[in-house]
Each structure stands twice: as structure tokens, then as C-alpha cells.
Amino acid sequence: MLPPRLVLYHKQSTSGRTRFLRLPAGLVAFGALPKLSVVVDEAETNASVRPHPAAALRDAEEKLGLPAGALAADTEFHAEIDTPEGRVPVILAAFTSTDPPFAAVEALGGRFIPLTEIFGSHPTEVELLRRAYETILG
């Protein structure tokens, strides 16, 4: 199994407003998905082999210039992407701060977007965010 990728979001604690991180390469951090990528059907994912999210979260925090603990994994979310190179696990993680870290994200050319702004994105990203949103809503 290949190293995990991340779907990152911020949910406002007072209003419930949810926004996803969009970086220049797309909605899945960090780097563009291969064109032939597809989300694996949930029934076909390998539930017994999941990477521990700690290393991926710490790596993301470092890339974003954020302190340790700035991201928390949502362990209810399980997804994999089938790519020409092999299967890639996807981790859903939330920013733990009260407000989104706008400055850190803007420094990387990214921004936070609502779910309504994902259309026109890679179909695999759209499907991942649809599943992520369902998980976030509970």
C-alpha cells in the first residue's frame, strides 16, 4: 500500500460551517492525483490494513507550518484510491483551531472552500469530499 493522502477540513465550532482545504494541486493533500485515479468502493477496501494517521498528520502540520496537534484524524472515515501505482489510503483530518489557519494555507497558495465549490474538480476528489462530508455530518 502506498503512503496515505489527506483530505483536510475545518469545521467552525460555533456555526458548524465546514470548509475544505484546496491547494494548488487539488483537494487531496499534497499533490495532484493521477488522472486514472478512482475511489475504491467501500465494500472493497481493506479495513484490516489501515495506516496509523500520526506520521501523515505530523508531516502535513510541518508542510503547513503549523504546531503539533493542529490536525486531528477522523477515525470514522475510511477510503482508498486506486491509482496506476497502487492503492492509496486516504485520511480525513480536521484543523483543531477555532478559526482556519488562513495565513498558513495562503502561504502555500491554498484556500478554504465550501463543498459547493468542488464541482469541476477531479471526479475522484469530488467523490472523496462527498464521502468526507457524510462522515463529518455524522
pLDDT at 131 over 70: yes
Q: Structural domain tally of the chain?
A: 1
Tell me the pLDDT tens digit for each residue of 94-116: 999 999 999 999 999 999 999 99
Q: What mean pLDDT is reported for the chain?
A: 92
Q: pLDDT grade, residue 77 (50/70/90)?
A: very high
Task: Tally Cβ neighbours within 10 Å of residue 83.
Answer: 17
Domain that holds residue 76: 5-137
Under DSSP, the state recorded for 82 is: E
Find which of 45-49, 111-115, 117-121 is predicted with most confidence, using mean pLDDT.
Answer: 111-115
pLDDT above 70 covers a percentage of the chain that reads 96
pLDDT for residue 47: 62
pLDDT for residue 5: 95
Give the pTM.
0.93
pLDDT for residue 138: 84
Element (H, E) at 86: strand 86-95
pLDDT for residue 48: 59
pLDDT at 34 over 80: yes
Cell (9 digits) for 48: 484490516
Least Cα distance to 122 among 31, 61, 56 occurs for 31
CATH of the domain at 96: 3.90.79
pLDDT at 46 over 70: no
pLDDT for residue 51: 81
